Amino acid sequence: MSLQILPRGRWVGARVKRVEDPRFLTGEARYLADIQIPGTVHAAFVRSPYGHARIRRIDTSAARTVPGVLGVFTADDVAVLPPLASGLPIEGLKPTPQSVLAKEKVRFVGEAVAVVVAENRYVAEDAAELVEVDYEPLPAVTDAERAMAADAPLLHEDLGTNIVYQKTTTLGDIDAAFAQADRVFRRRFHTNRFVAAPMETRGCLSVYERASGQLTFYSSTQMPHMLRLFLALFLGIPEHKVRVISPEVGGAFGQKMTIYPEEVVIAYLGKVLGRPVKWVEDRRENLAAATHAKEQIIELEAAVRSDGKVLGLKARLIGDGGAYSFNTASALIEPLAAAGIIPGVYDIRAYQHEVIAVCTNKSPVGAFRAVGWTAAQTARELFFDEIARELGLDPAEFRRRNVITSDQFPYTTMTGMVYDSGSYRESLERALELVGYDELRRRQAELRQQGRYLGVGISLYVEPTAWGSEIALQAGFPFPSHDNATVTIDPTGKVRVAVSVHSHGQGHETTLAQVAAEILGVSIDDVVVEHGDTDRAPWGMGTYASRSAVIGGGMVALAAQEVREKLLRVASRLLEVAPEDLDIQDGTVFVKGAPDRSLSLFQVAFAAYLDGRVRAEGEEPLLSATKFYDPRATYSNGCLVTVCEVDSETGLVHLEKIVAVEDCGTMLNPMIVEGQVMGAIAQGIGGALYEAMIYDENGQLLTDTFLSYALPTATEVPELIIEHLETPSPVTIGGIKGIGEGGLLATPAAVAGAVLDAIWPAGRTIEQLPLTPERVLSALTAETGA
Amino acid sequence: MERVPITVTVNGQTVSAEVEPRMTLADFLRDELGLTGTKLGCEHGVCGSCTVLWDGAAVRSCLVLAAQADGAAITTIEGLATEGQLHPVQQAFWEAHALQCGFCTPGMILTAVALLSEDANPSEQAIREALSGNLCRCTGYQNIVRAVQLAAERLRSSS
């Protein structure tokens, strides 16, 4: 396979305005809740108000008598449905099967216990209020370390423990590294549990046609084909009679890449009731019962030479997995991913990690942009800042002394990641230059004299992208995958691209059209991109983990290239020249060097379909190709620098600016890249300063509205300065890398680093994010004795 | 449940209906009139996705009842473009890449329209404050602020 098939020209690399935008701008776009099918009935779930309780009895009789109610269902009514469990083939990982409606016990606030279906949502909610569940409250455990204690309340009694995984791995000569160290440092961080909070909540609509046995399932999902597969298996419907349609999706960020119990229940009820059944989650449900993310307790230990060289690292990573080791990738999704990336961009040749996954009485943990890597990056970068200061080194200089340099690529880390290329040191230097680092340090010292607290935070990162089989393996999650694209030129010469990667804000209808247009020599206006419907898009995994630019771009390039060759073979017979002497531009096929000998794409395509004489022996008439792509592992990188000032009276953090230098290889559309970076940075600001899911000791969720769970608004996000470096990957088609997650991977470290820098040495006492005014102020007060 | 008769002007059209007293304006627009461009992101008045114009002012349609809208003139996102021409704010959102998933976009655009009708030349800070009642999880707001600046510029030079 040629990696060079993707040229850069008129379309690839251009700031093309998004072709999908008009329907969003005018309100025509149809999300799940907007789909109206005659005869639809509506579901409302009854959810646990307890973090941990035994279900003694459920009385649905009052709810059933409400006019307009079609049915009330509990675990007993859906007993035919198998429990959900993680299928990840990792030795030593204990499964925690989850009944789709809670059976015998509830294990977190918000767990679905029953579901009411009624003629409209208002009536469904009225009736849900009348479902009486008799609970016997049990002691809850909401702290991962406490959950590991021998006397902790057990979530899954049959396991005899809340620890679903624990394993230590030693890479390199860790004892020698620590024996040779001049200094050894230790630090503990507790990264916060925060959530994707897409503006559109989850939802689904099940339409079952009894006569044909066909299930059409609409869902706000990131992975329609995976959902189809699992629905077929869970419901016992042959897969070819299941169609999943993911309409417009109002943000997902990983939260919608799982098979949710609610989806299985609703799909089933559509079949049982013979009426379309719709469920649209409300915000409280989303905050309580959709997957949470990113909470870990990470203890780091570093063996360091006095010149700042890190000789070895030890990490203990405890993932707080919530009530179930969830079906996406289990409770390992956070700590195992984190363990792999702890060394990051640094040249560290001895490493030991202990990965622990624990169940607690909280919502299960799933994917959220930069899974595991956010926590790992935050802990390591803040730790390195601290080591630098202890050694009397500038944090930037400390990084220079440890960073992997460009002459070391390809670089294999101790955890088996193969960094293909990048600009680690270069991005650091460029970011420092852009932010005016030396001047900032001078200003910081001056302001400190005046009792003002200015801080600078650096976060230098590498991001595994292109989530295919190889990188999944390198990151510790052995799950093979592949994705497919079909490119077709219709008889009129128009181009249709159908892809397995789903778009929920990423702009694939534009970027993937750019790829096809470039290769086929047509205008982007002559290309449509389809996705999200299993009947129209070819098979594949969907969109997550910064995979769609690389995988989508690559597979569209492959398919478009094959179609181009077919088209040119037809044209060569029409024009009586060799195919290699032909080119296509602006929808015209012409003889190189003799542009007047030409045919329109329409003429060639029309002949290909309808004029049998131009078809060679054995040639297929359709101008169509379906190609798969499962890329080699590739890694993006970048550097963020944050400047902030901390108000020592209130503890409030004012962000002045964030500089982001990123390198995602070849860019399909820089405008879209910048959009990804800026959006991810804003989420990272939320994670650093504002967002946290808080449970009390009884397992009660205290943050179940957008008042108590605070997202950044336009006034909290400062000026963002973005600059691109472009180091094309030597191992992917077109050199594309991917950049979906870098911003959220790196920002909490950069922002928290700036805050801790501002208030140093008080910063050393803070070990938990987010950096709320209370935490900042209490650290400052303790330090200054004020 | 007794129903309440209302007459509302929605996107220039007079609509008469009988609604349940507890029906929200958002549900009325979406479920009764089929105007699903108005989005529900939180249903407790924080996210701003359901913002519509009520006699020209930005209002959260999840927090008011349809019955309260009797006699009001409501503009939803569907009523903003005229004769196939995008409103300058819509056009600016497109050009500045001020949307990704698009879910918050109708509310953002209508909030910006209300702002610009009151202040033709808002400062960046004023724009940020006016938008601070609308949550966006995709864009990081920077391009939204730029879009509003761009629209303001164009509206000033065209008036």
DSSP string spanning A600-643? Answer: EHHHHHHHHHH-GGGPPTT--SSEEEEEEE-PPPEEEEEEEEEE
Cβ-based neighbours of A683, under 8 Å, separated by 6 or more: A253, A369, A712, A743, A744, A747, B137
SS3 state of residue A71: strand
Interchain pair A26, B90: CB under 8 A? yes
> Alpha-carbon distance A507 to A510, whole Å?
6
Among chain B residues, the shortest Cα distance to A669 is held by: B97
- Cβ atoms of residues A517 and A526 within 8 Å: yes
Which pLDDT band, with edges at 50, 70 and 90, does B137 fall under?
Answer: very high
Q: Please tell me the predicted confidence (pLDDT) of residue A617.
A: 83
- Cβ atoms of residues A687 and A370 within 8 Å: no
- Residue B37 C-alpha, separation from nearest chain A C-alpha, in angstroms: 4
Cβ-based neighbours of A595, under 8 Å, separated by 6 or more: none
Show residues of chain A in contact with B112, CB under 8 Å: none
Interchain pair B103, A250: CB under 8 A? yes
Ranges in chain A, pLDDT < 70: 1-2, 785-786
Q: Please tell me the predicted confidence (pLDDT) of residue A785.
A: 66
How would you class B84 by CB atoms within 10 Å of its CB: exposed for 0-12, middle for 13-18, buried for 19 or more?
A: exposed
- Cβ atoms of residues A496 and A530 within 8 Å: yes
Q: Please tell me the predicted confidence (pLDDT) of residue A2.
A: 66
Interchain pair A505, B40: CB under 8 A? no
Cβ-based neighbours of A290, under 8 Å, separated by 6 or more: A195, A196, A201, A202, A255, A260, A281, A363
Report the pLDDT averaged over residues B37-44: 97
Interchain pair B138, A720: CB under 8 A? no
Cβ-based neighbours of A305, under 8 Å, separated by 6 or more: A180, A181, A182, A183, A311
> Alpha-carbon distance A176 to A498, whole Å?
54
Domains and CATH numbers, chain B: 4-79 (3.10.20.30), 88-158 (1.10.150.120)
Interchain pair A714, B127: CB under 8 A? yes
Q: Decide if pLDDT at B94 tops 90.
A: yes
A670-685 vs A742-758: helix axis angle to the nearest 10? 50
How would you class A30 by CB atoms within 10 Å of its CB: exposed for 0-12, middle for 13-18, buried for 19 or more?
A: middle
Task: Output the CA angle A634-A560-A254, nearest 5 degrees.
Answer: 45
Among residues A194, A166, A111, A548, which one has the least CA distance to residue A367?
Answer: A194
Nearest to B94 among A17, A28, A200 (CB): A17
Interchain pair B131, A21: CB under 8 A? no
The ipTM value here is 0.98
Question: In which element (H, E) is residue A426 found?
Answer: helix A424-435
> Alpha-carbon distance A512 to A538, whole Å?
15
Nearest to A283 among B31, B41, B145 (CB): B41
Structure tokens of A337? 């991913």
Please spell the DSSP secondary structure of A503-517, one letter per residue. Answer: -SSS-HHHHHHHHHH
SS3 state of residue A388: helix
Q: Please tell me the predicted confidence (pLDDT) of residue A496.
A: 98
Q: Which amino acid is at A451?
A: G
- Cβ atoms of residues A737 and A664 within 8 Å: yes
Q: Which of A20, A23, A25 to mutate to test the interface with B (most CBs of B within 10 A)?
A: A25
Interchain pair B143, A713: CB under 8 A? no
- Cβ atoms of residues A228 and A245 within 8 Å: no
Query: Which position has the token pair 């024009």?
Result: A575
Among chain B residues, the shortest Cα distance to A248 is held by: B101
Strands (E) in A409-516, as ranges, are 411-412, 418-419, 453-465, 483-489, 495-499
CA-based diameter of chain A, in Å?
91
Which pLDDT band, with edges at 50, 70 and 90, does B84 fall under?
Answer: confident
Domains and CATH numbers, chain A: 21-29+482-629 (3.30.365.10), 32-138+201-249+256-289 (3.90.1170.50), 371-468+632-780 (3.30.365.10)
Show residues of chain B in contact with A199, CB under 8 Å: 39, 41, 47, 49, 101, 103-104, 135-138
- Cβ atoms of residues B140 and A678 within 8 Å: yes
- Other C-beta atoms lying within 10 Å of the C-beta of residue A426: 18
Structure tokens of A500? 């397995």
Q: Please tell me the predicted confidence (pLDDT) of residue A1.
A: 56
Nearest to A26 among B49, B81, B100 (CB): B81
Task: Output the CA angle A313-A686-A694, nearest 5 degrees.
Answer: 85
For chain B positions 8-37, those within 8 Å of chain A (CB to CB) are 20, 22-23, 30-31, 34-37
Q: Which of B94, B99, B138, B146 to mutate to test the interface with A (most CBs of A within 10 A)?
A: B138
In the A/B pair of chains, how many CB contacts fall below 8 A? Answer: 168
Show residues of chain B in contact with A251, CB under 8 Å: 100-101, 103, 137-138
> Alpha-carbon distance A437 to A640, whole Å?
12
> Alpha-carbon distance A432 to A441, whole Å?
11
- Residue B34 C-alpha, separation from nearest chain A C-alpha, in angstroms: 8
Is the Cβ of B81 closer than 8 Å to some Cβ of chain A? yes
- Residue A719 C-alpha, separation from nearest chain B C-alpha, in angstroms: 7
- Residue B7 C-alpha, separation from nearest chain A C-alpha, in angstroms: 23
Conformation bin of residue B140: beta by default, left when phi > 0, alpha when psi is -120 to 50: left
| Backbone angles phi and psi of A635, in degrees to 5 | -135, 125
Among chain B residues, the shortest Cα distance to A676 is held by: B139
Show residues of chain B in contact with A18, CB under 8 Å: 94, 97
- Other C-beta atoms lying within 10 Å of the C-beta of residue A275: 18
- Other C-beta atoms lying within 10 Å of the C-beta of residue A595: 11
Give the percent of chain A with pLDDT over 70.
99
Q: Please tell me the predicted confidence (pLDDT) of residue A125.
A: 98
> Alpha-carbon distance A729 to A713, whole Å?
35
Nearest to B101 among A249, A282, A674 (CB): A249
Show residues of chain B in contact with A220, CB under 8 Å: none
Is the Cβ of B56 closer than 8 Å to some Cβ of chain A? no
